[in-house]
């Protein structure tokens, strides 16, 4: 099993530089098995290790995979410009270990957002060839007509696209339509609705692949870790 010194372990989990981590350890802020450990030089088996820092419990994770119920008015950027950044909703450790959004939601779009520090995972979910479906619930300015559903399903032409784009579309309410996309074009849902003759006034992402926001039980602004079983749900559509 992998082993590392305690200062390197804390650094890998986003507690700061090695100097900062050594200071935490020497100050008695770190507990393992309920006992304070003040020697940063000791080597520890890291797999599944449970520990505490300043009384807060943590478990060692080589990579983190997170789901967040994103509220409106939040930018999916590590360097936000006009609104609060999404990483402000998470513990500081995740920023320090380079966690980033898996794809983006517009600042006014709400719902399921994934974040990770695993570059291969991010690439696999965002690469255009993977075609991981994403499900949205759009609220429209005008009632959802049969012709709107037909246009979305047969394909609408966007100004900068070489061919019409199609979506799976279902009416959910008089002014709500569920839209499933396998592409990830800029403002795609909003632009497709406009091209099909309506206008999007609110947009909420409910699922990525087979992973649904409802099954996670997250209130707006809340986040959780995704375990191996939850990660499998992302590919349940395959």
The number of angstroms, rounded, from the C-alpha of 235 to the middle of its chain's C-alpha atoms is 15
CA of 47: how far to CAs of 3, 26, 50, 116, 154, in Å?
8, 23, 9, 19, 50
106 catalytic? Reply is yes
> Strand 74-75 relative to strand 84-85: parallel, antiparallel, unpaired?
parallel
Q: Indicate the angle between helix axes 188-195 and 146-154, nearest 10 degrees.
A: 120
CA atoms of 169 and 167, how far apart (whole Å): 6
Strands of 47-199, DSSP E: 50-53, 56-59, 65-70, 74-75, 84-85, 100-101, 110-116, 134-140, 168-173, 176-181
Q: What is the DSSP letter of 81?
A: S
Q: Nearest 5 degrees, angle CA 153-CA 158-CA 159?
A: 165
Query: Which of the following is catalytic: 7, 106, 118, 160?
Result: 106
CB contact at 8 A, 69 and 219: yes
Rg (CA), the chain: 21
Task: Return all residues near 46 (Cβ < 8 A) that are at least 6 apart.
Answer: 1, 2, 3, 4, 9, 60
Q: Which residues are catalytic?
A: 106
């Amino acid at each position: 099993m992998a082993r590392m010194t305690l200062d390197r372990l804390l650094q890998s989990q986003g507690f700061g530089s090695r100097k900062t981590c050594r200071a935490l350890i020497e100050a008695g802020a770190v507990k393992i098995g309920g006992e304070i450990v003040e020697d940063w030089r000791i080597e520890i088996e890291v797999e599944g290790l449970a520990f505490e820092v300043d009384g807060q419990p943590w478990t060692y994770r080589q990579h983190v995979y997170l789901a967040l119920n994103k509220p409106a008015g939040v930018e999916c950027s590590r360097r936000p410009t006009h609104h609060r950044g999404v990483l402000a909703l998470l513990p500081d450790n995740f920023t320090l270990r380079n966690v980033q959004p898996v794809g983006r939601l517009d600042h006014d779009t709400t719902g399921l957002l994934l974040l990770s520090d695993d570059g291969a995972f991010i690439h696999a979910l965002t690469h255009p060839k993977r075609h991981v479906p994403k499900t949205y619930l759009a609220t429209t300015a005008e009632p959802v007509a049969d012709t709107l559903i037909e246009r979305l399903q047969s394909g609408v032409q966007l100004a900068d696209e070489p061919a019409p784009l199609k979506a799976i579309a279902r009416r959910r309410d008089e002014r709500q339509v569920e839209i499933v996309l396998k592409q990830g074009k800029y403002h795609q849902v909003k632009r497709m609705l406009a091209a099909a003759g309506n206008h999007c006034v609110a947009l909420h992402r409910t699922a990525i692949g087979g992973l649904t926001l409802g099954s996670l039980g997250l209130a707006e602004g809340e986040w959780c870790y995704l375990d191996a079983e939850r990660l499998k749900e992302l590919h349940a559509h395959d």
